[in-house]
Amino acid sequence: MLQITQAPTSPVLINQRFSILGVASVSSAGMTLTLIVDGTFRTTGPEVRNNGTWQVDFLFTAAGNRRLRIEVAGDSTEIVIPVVTSLPQAQRLRITQIPARLPVLQSTTIEGDAENYPDGTILQLRSDRQFELARPPVLNGRWRSTVGFNQPGRRVIEIRTLDGSQSAAAEIDVVAVTPPRPRVSFVNPPRQVREETVITLEGNAENYQDGDQLILRADQTQELARPRVQGGKWQANTLFRQPGNRLIEIIGSEQDRAQTIIEVQAAPPNSFQILARSSWTSEPTPASLPNLTPRRITLHHTALASSPGASSTQAQDAARMRLIWNSHVNGNGWSDIGYHFIIMQSGRVFSARSELKRGAHDLVNDGLGIAFDGIYSAATINQKQFDAAVALCTVLCRRYGIKNTVTPVPTPTADFGTRNLPLILGHRDRVNTECPGTEGGRTIRMPEIRTAVNGQLN
């Protein structure tokens, strides 16, 4: 019996002394071992100890897989020892670059060393000791990989060999990204408004997308409008029908709203009235005239001098109405005053021709004719006339379903074919005439009248 109990398990260097331990039968005690190298070189070894154990101390002077045969008393055993000129370098993995923090859904490059690994060796990059992220190959002793995470949290990142025999680890903190906070606000909200008056509310809508819908609300219950965001701003037209303090909110979401308080003031008592035809004449509009369904309003001046003026009495204004009637009926040979209403410089509004009958004022005559008394080729109507015109036109538009007095629409004219004109227009827009004064109705403030009426309507 002869057995080796301990020998080198890895290659040994040339000239590196190593030991082989073994055991022989006790009957061999005191006998000398014979060593045979590579089957040819024989030498004497140590003696077997009294308890049967033995120890050979040896070294090789040449590299290769060297065979060592040990013999004693007819027994033998053999071992092959790899002998090398230099030991293989230790392999080592390391993570050399990894960010401490990484926002969710952002990618980053993690890289490191793979010392003494041959090019092309496939490594495994994984997180939390279980999830494979990538299989980077080794190149020039380095590895690298681009990774990203879609959930926040602290991650253990590990680079390892496929068999798991070598590894290195580091931690990365994946952090949630806070999106920019949306924020709605009012910009210069009015503190006071009149009831039944259209106002425009506006504001900012930071970090909203174009087209996002907001809600404009009053008193936490009444929806006023649903403005859409455009370029980070919102705007809405609205009106209030009840006086009092109103809590107005612009709402982007449950978490994002802005508030303002607007005091809605009662409209002044309505002093506007249309004086009936009976206030200046007992003569009716002839019933034989064709009926009218008004589609628009044409503004005129009477072009008659010597108006009674802004502080005239109602009696003076009534006398003026009779003078105009006389001029149209007996002077022009018409069956009645051509206009449906006349606005005196006092601000009084008189009903002239019945608004149920077609007028004689702009040749097309598919609408109502309103004349400012006086000549406005150079002079401008006074404020009372302006206010009366706005009030009268508003009443008439509501009465006849005219909803927009500013947007031009195709309109038949007497002298210019079809033109694009708003539903409140001037005589000269349809007929080659100077009435109601200047181009564009500047002296009768026509653009302002259109806008003011439109505001009242919408």
Q: How many residues form the binding site for Zn ion (CB under 5 A)? A: 3
List 300, 328, 353, 357, residue binding Zn ion (CB under 5 A): 300
- Residue span binding Zn ion (CB under 5 A) among the ranges 28-36, 83-91, 293-301, 400-408: 293-301
Minimum separation from the CB atom of position 427 to Zn ion (A): 3
Site string (247-286) toward Zn ion, x via CB under 5 A: ----------------------------------------
Q: Centre a 10 Å sphere on the Cβ of residue 213 and count the other Cβ atoms it contains.
A: 11
Q: Are 259 and 216 in contact (CB under 8 A)?
A: no
CA atoms of 297 and 213, how far apart (whole Å): 37
CA atoms of 393 and 368, how far apart (whole Å): 10
Minimum separation from the CB atom of position 364 to Zn ion (A): 12
Minimum separation from the CB atom of position 283 to Zn ion (A): 22
Tokens of residue 157, six digits? 């990142």
Q: Are 418 and 412 in contact (CB under 8 A)?
A: yes
Minimum separation from the CB atom of position 247 to Zn ion (A): 49
Minimum separation from the CB atom of position 376 to Zn ion (A): 11
CA atoms of 147 and 138, how far apart (whole Å): 17
Helices (H) and strands (E) in the chain, counts: 4, 32
Q: Closer CB to Zn ion, residue 155 or residue 445?
A: 445
Minimum separation from the CB atom of position 219 to Zn ion (A): 48
Q: Closer CB to Zn ion, residue 145 or residue 351?
A: 351
Minimum separation from the CB atom of position 436 to Zn ion (A): 6
Q: Closer CB to Zn ion, residue 393 or residue 435?
A: 435
427 counts as binding Zn ion under rule CB under 5 A: yes
Minimum separation from the CB atom of position 230 to Zn ion (A): 42
List 292, 337, 435, 449, residue binding Zn ion (CB under 5 A): 435
- What is the signed CA dihedral for 278, 280, 284, 286, rounded to 10 degrees? -150
Q: Closer CB to Zn ion, residue 203 or residue 437?
A: 437
Beta strand segments in 99-243, E:
101-103, 107-115, 123-127, 131-134, 142-148, 153-161, 167-175, 183-186, 192-194, 199-206, 215-218, 222-225, 233-238
Residues 6 or more apart whose Cβ sits within 8 Å of residue 80: 65, 66, 67, 68
Q: Closer CB to Zn ion, residue 277 or residue 430?
A: 430
Q: Closer CB to Zn ion, residue 227 or residue 338?
A: 338
Task: With CA atoms as reference, report the closest residue to 337 among 368, 375, 379.
Answer: 368
User: Which residues between 106 and 165 bind Zn ion (CB under 5 A)?
Assistant: none
Q: Closer CB to Zn ion, residue 201 or residue 435?
A: 435
CA atoms of 157 and 170, how far apart (whole Å): 5
- Residue span binding Zn ion (CB under 5 A) among the ranges 179-187, 298-306, 377-385, 439-447: 298-306
Tokens of residue 13, six digits? 């260097």
Q: Closer CB to Zn ion, residue 19 or residue 326?
A: 326
- What is the signed CA dihedral for 402, 405, 408, 410, rounded to 10 degrees? 30
Which residue ranges make up the site for Zn ion (CB under 5 A)? 300, 427, 435
